[in-house]
């Protein structure tokens, strides 16, 4: 069973809809026990970094995810804000401690061209930097749907699994061991996104 | 590089999909869930559902439509119409909307923009602005399904909404809407240049060249359209191929 973590920040049901469509067993839950016992964990989310961490800390979901992902090695998928939260620090509307699973910071995007719009909204192509089982079967056009103003900046370049271009390069996917997290929304990226979700349902962690 | 978007819009009235001209003379153009499925099969970039005549009953119908669409359409869905309170925004996000469009409320209770942006993130707050040219040759913002002239200058209104936290602007010319005569290109460009957030062109697309012109000669980030897909033989697929062959960066 895949636990989709519900911490009051967004579109858990869109992720559930996509997994159901794929025939993958999953449930949206706010119960730390269920998250702890899950085979896999998905942390979706939209909204602000600080408020999200506060919810995760207060609800006991942070501790539950730490146990499932770090101690029990369960495969983890972070999406959008859920990807940013795996970083050590967030800088959106103040300085906040993140889950700290991948060292680095989340910063406001700074496109080189001042005419470039923020938020970064729409379909953009990713460049795969690390060959992971999660990318298998993608179409030649690797367009995914993004909507965000902040981006993750991992300390160690080895944690960058894919990048993307928007007035400069930014990190589209981070990866470490059993942790995989995307800035884009696979649940909103049609066929390409469904491919990644389907791969995640089979993934046991680790590279190809 | 970020691709430019083509967004079909589905206008809803009493649970049906309708289309009119200049916000009047609405014709029934079919079942919205069926239309959403067809657009999904055509792999459109996003979909926009706007309830043009919100009532207690239509609210329930919209809920059913969005829930049904969200089970099969794995793309961003924007929903608008009758959004008055933070709870309305939460409700729409919960049932499967990714972004919520506010129109009259952005004029009457602009603090709703700020509250929703703080709670749910500015990426999900779309402010929809309908405007028309008056006899003095000045553009003003109209609300309540284009029945009430607020006298507000659209550009000033847009700037204020962005300052409050709007993440995207849907800008509709009432004069052009449904005419198939082309967008209000120059004005779209003026507004898109003046704000940091993406502006979506709306109202008047009748030929594929209108998309091309909006996406290549103005600063808009996306084009939305309805009549061209309902009343001409053009489809989002044809639009994408036309634009792609013309050198515009769209999904293929």
A36, A105, A185, A198: the active-site residue: A185
Under the banding of pLDDT at 50, 70 and 90, the label for residue A93 is confident
Measure the CA–CA gap between A72 and B237, rounded to whole angstroms: 46
A47 part of a folded domain: yes
Judge contact between A165 and A200, C-beta under 8 A. Answer: no
A18 part of a folded domain: yes
Number of domains comprising chain A: 1
B173 part of a folded domain: yes
Query: Each residue of B57-106: pLDDT tens digit?
Result: 998 999 999 999 999 999 999 999 999 999 999 889 888 899 999 999 99
Number of domains comprising chain B: 1
User: φ, ψ for residue B48 (rounded to 5)?
Assistant: -125, 125
Under the banding of pLDDT at 50, 70 and 90, the label for residue B177 is very high
Residue A73 has pLDDT above 90, yes or no: yes
> What per-residue confidence (pLDDT) applies to A165?
96
Under the banding of pLDDT at 50, 70 and 90, the label for residue B122 is confident
> What per-residue confidence (pLDDT) applies to A126?
98
CB neighbour list of residue A72: distance below 8 Å, 6 or more residues apart: none
Q: Identify the CATH number of the domain in which residue A179 sits.
A: 3.40.50.880
Instruction: State percent of chain B over pLDDT 70.
Output: 100
Judge contact between B102 and B113, C-beta under 8 A. Answer: yes
Tokens 């999953």 sit at which residue? Answer: A26
Task: Answer whether A145 sits within 8 Å of B251, measured CB to CB.
Answer: no
State the nearest Cα–Cα gap between A71 and chain B, in angstroms.
Answer: 31
* Enclosing domain of residue B206: 5-245
A160 part of a folded domain: yes
Residue A19 has pLDDT above 90, yes or no: yes
> What per-residue confidence (pLDDT) applies to B96?
87
Under the banding of pLDDT at 50, 70 and 90, the label for residue B120 is confident
B14 part of a folded domain: yes
B252 part of a folded domain: no
Least confident of A68-72, A100-104, B51-55: B51-55
CB atoms within 10 A of CB B42: 15
Under the banding of pLDDT at 50, 70 and 90, the label for residue A46 is confident
A102 part of a folded domain: yes
* Enclosing domain of residue A96: 2-202
CB neighbour list of residue B64: distance below 8 Å, 6 or more residues apart: B15
A80, A92, A105, A148: the active-site residue: A80
Question: Which residue from B minimizes the CA distance to A48?
Answer: B121
Residue B167 has pLDDT above 80, yes or no: yes
> What per-residue confidence (pLDDT) applies to A81?
94
- Provide mean pLDDT across the span A72-80: 97
Question: Annotated catalytic, A148?
Answer: no
Measure the CA–CA gap between A122 and A146, rounded to whole angstroms: 5
Q: Is B126 exposed, middle or buried (0-12, 13-18, 19+ CB in 10 A)?
A: buried
Task: Answer whether B96 sits within 8 Å of A17, measured CB to CB.
Answer: yes
B213 part of a folded domain: yes
Do β-strands B24-30 and B16-21 pair in parallel, antiparallel, or remain unpaired? antiparallel
Question: Which residue from B minimizes the CA distance to A164?
Answer: B1
Residue A9 has pLDDT above 80, yes or no: no
Q: Identify the CATH number of the domain in which residue B149 sits.
A: 3.20.20.70
> What per-residue confidence (pLDDT) applies to A11?
78
Under the banding of pLDDT at 50, 70 and 90, the label for residue B205 is very high
CB neighbour list of residue A51: distance below 8 Å, 6 or more residues apart: A9
A207 part of a folded domain: no
Measure the CA–CA gap between B177 and B160, rounded to whole angstroms: 24
A105, A148, A159, A187: the active-site residue: A187
User: φ, ψ for residue A97 (rounded to 5)?
Assistant: -80, 135
Contacting residues of A for B168, CB less than 8 Å apart? 119, 121
Interface contact A124, partner B, CB < 8 A: yes
């Amino acid at each position: 069973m895949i636990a989709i973590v519900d911490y009051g920040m967004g579109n858990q049901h869109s992720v559930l809809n996509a997994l159901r469509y794929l025939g993958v067993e999953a449930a949206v839950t706010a119960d730390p026990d269920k998250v702890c016992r899950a085979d896999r964990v998905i942390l979706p989310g939209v909204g602000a970094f600080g408020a999200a961490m506060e919810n995760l800390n207060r609800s006991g979901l942070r501790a539950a995810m730490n146990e499932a992902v770090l101690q029990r090695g369960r495969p983890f998928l972070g999406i959008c804000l859920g990807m940013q939260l795996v970083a050590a620090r967030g800088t959106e509307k103040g300085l906040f401690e993140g889950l700290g699973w991948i060292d680095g910071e989340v910063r406001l995007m700074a496109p080189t061209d001042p005419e470039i719009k923020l938020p970064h909204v729409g379909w953009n192509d990713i460049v795969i930097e690390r060959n992971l089982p999660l990318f298998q079967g993608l179409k030649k056009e690797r367009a995914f749907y993004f909507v965000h103003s902040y981006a993750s900046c991992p300390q160690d370049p080895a944690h960058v699994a894919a990048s993307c271009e928007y007035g400069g390069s930014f990190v589209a996917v981070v990866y470490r061991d059993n942790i995989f997290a995307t800035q884009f929304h696979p649940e909103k990226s049609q066929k390409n996104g469904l491919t990644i979700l389907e791969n995640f349902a089979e993934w046991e962690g680790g590279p190809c | 590089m970020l691709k430019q978007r083509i967004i079909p819009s589905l206008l809803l009235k009493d649970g049906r999909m309708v289309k009119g001209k200049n916000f009047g003379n609405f014709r029934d153009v079919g079942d919205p869930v069926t239309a959403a499925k067809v657009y999904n099969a055509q792999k459109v970039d996003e979909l926009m559902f706007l309830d043009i005549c919100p009532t207690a009953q239509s609210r329930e119908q919209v809920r059913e439509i969005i829930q049904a669409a969200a089970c099969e359409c794995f793309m961003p869905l924007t929903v608008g119409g009758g959004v008055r309170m933070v709870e309305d925004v939460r409700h729409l996000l919960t049932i499967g909307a990714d972004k919520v469009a506010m129109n009259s409320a952005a004029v009457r209770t602009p603090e709703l923009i700020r509250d929703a942006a703080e709670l749910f993130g500015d990426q999900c707050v779309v402010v929809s602005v309908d405007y028309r040219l008056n006899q003095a040759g000045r553009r003003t913002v109209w609300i309540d399904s284009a029945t009430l002239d607020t006298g507000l200058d659209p550009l000033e209104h847009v700037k204020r909404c962005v300052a409050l936290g709007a993440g995207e602007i849907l800008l509709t010319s009432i004069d052009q809407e449904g005419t198939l005569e082309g967008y209000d290109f120059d004005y779209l460009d003026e507004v898109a240049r003046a704000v940091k957030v993406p502006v979506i062109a709306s109202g008047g697309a009748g030929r594929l060249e209108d998309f091309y012109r909006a996406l290549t000669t103005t600063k808009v980030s996306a084009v939305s359209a309805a009549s061209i897909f309902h009343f001409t033989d053009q489809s989002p697929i044809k639009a994408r191929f036309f634009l792609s062959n013309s050198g515009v960066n769209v999904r293929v």
